[in-house]
Structure 1
């Protein structure tokens, strides 16, 4: 259980922060950049939820919780030392990725095939889901970059990859099942 009695600690004033295992690292480290961008992704999901209701809102609530799990995963280095940890670290698992895939397939089944790229927009919810999608893609790139330097849970990277796909399909659902998608017209303004 997390207990936050005091919000500011002054321990980060020198440009360092603590990872969840207590290790102190620079705030600009690749690990902090990765889990910080996951946190940013979560904040954009919160914005999208302001425009969502029903099933999409319920699914976005699950995603927000997953993103906290993912941030906890990325903030805990040492995948190879999980068995030695004092308490088991929280890791994203394949079942969370699988749930996103099932939901993507379910939502996509009711959509017409795309014959053009689409521009972010349409309804407010769709536009916000496209914002979540792009921030999730950045988080994924940063997690992949981190994985080139030190071990990262592969399921965490897969989750971010599926999340951006989930947001793309959900944005189309939010645009009247794709009827209100804004299509890209190559070279239209030449």
Structure 2
């Protein structure tokens, strides 16, 4: 049971914060960047869920993903170890499989894509594109943390912090794919995919020398 009795603690006023294993680290730690990006992505999905006309299947999927993103953040903030005081929440392979199944299922609803597309069409679609880019950043941040900390657990006699669960990066990779697909689904019946036009759609390009 989570019991939050006070919003501020003042314990971070020295530029440090607590990780899930109760150790403390600097607020500039790359781990924090990874789960902060997950939090930002979750906030963007919250905006999507406030839009009107969202398909019920999409809404249910995004609601599940919001909970998952919170769990991804919980995983990222808890260094891997061979022993735990409390068993931490970890991203599971079946969550990744669910995203892949969702990608295939929702992609069947959309017409064949023969061009790159730009964010837009409907409001929900535009925000899903935004969420997609944030998730891609979260994946990059996670890989940056893996480069620093690795993926090995710390042992009780180790003097180094534990690594990062690599399944978090895989989950974020598949999630960005799914959000792109859902951005297209969100345009069905209410808008059209905005197709990329090379050169900004200019009919002609100057071929001679530019005037001085």
Which TM-score tier does this pair reach, normalised by the shorter chain?
over 0.9
Q: 2:157 matched to which residue of 1? A: none
Q: Secondary structure at the match of 1:25?
A: strand
CA radius of gyration, larger in: 2
Conservation of the 8 A alpha-carbon contact between 1:111 and 1:177:
no
Q: 1:114 matched to which residue of 2? A: 113
Which is richer in helix? 1
TM-score of the superposition, structure 1-length normalised?
Answer: 0.94
Q: 1:74 matched to which residue of 2? A: 76
Gaps of 5+ in 2: 150-162, 206-212
Shift of 1:110: 2.2
Which string of whole-angstrom CA distances, capped at 9 and with x for unpartnered residues, describes residues 19-42 of structure 1? 111111111110011111111111
Q: 1:15 matched to which residue of 2? A: 15
Q: Distance in 2 between matches of 1:123 and 1:64?
A: 21
Q: Distance in 1 between matches of 2:191 and 2:36?
A: 35
Conservation of the 8 A alpha-carbon contact between 1:56 and 1:170:
yes
Shift of 1:120: 0.5
Conservation of the 8 A alpha-carbon contact between 1:38 and 1:71:
yes
Shift of 1:179: 6.6
Provide closer, same or farther for how the CA distance between residues 160 and 47 of structure 1 changes in structure 2, counting only shifts above 3 A. Answer: same
Conservation of the 8 A alpha-carbon contact between 2:122 and 2:190:
no
Q: 1:103 matched to which residue of 2? A: 102
Is structure 2 residue 185 aligned with structure 1 residue 186?
no
Which string of whole-angstrom CA distances, capped at 9 and with x for unpartnered residues, describes residues 80-115 of structure 1? x1x410221110001111111101100111222211
Which residues of 2 match residues 37-186 of structure 1 at below 5 A?
Answer: 37-51=37-51, 52-77=54-79, 79=80, 81=81, 83-150=82-149, 151-176=163-188, 180-186=192-198
Q: Distance in 1 between matches of 2:32 and 2:9?
A: 18
Gaps of 5+ in 1: none
Q: How many positions carry a matched residue from both structures?
A: 187
Q: Secondary structure at the match of 2:192?
A: coil
Q: Secondary structure at the match of 2:17?
A: strand
TM-score of the superposition, structure 2-length normalised?
Answer: 0.85
Which string of whole-angstrom CA distances, capped at 9 and with x for unpartnered residues, describes residues 112-155 of structure 1? 22111000010011001001100000000000110111122121
Q: Distance in 2 between matches of 1:45 and 1:122?
A: 17
Q: Distance in 2 between matches of 1:170 and 1:161?
A: 15
Extract structure 1 runs of 4+ deviating beyond 4 A.
none
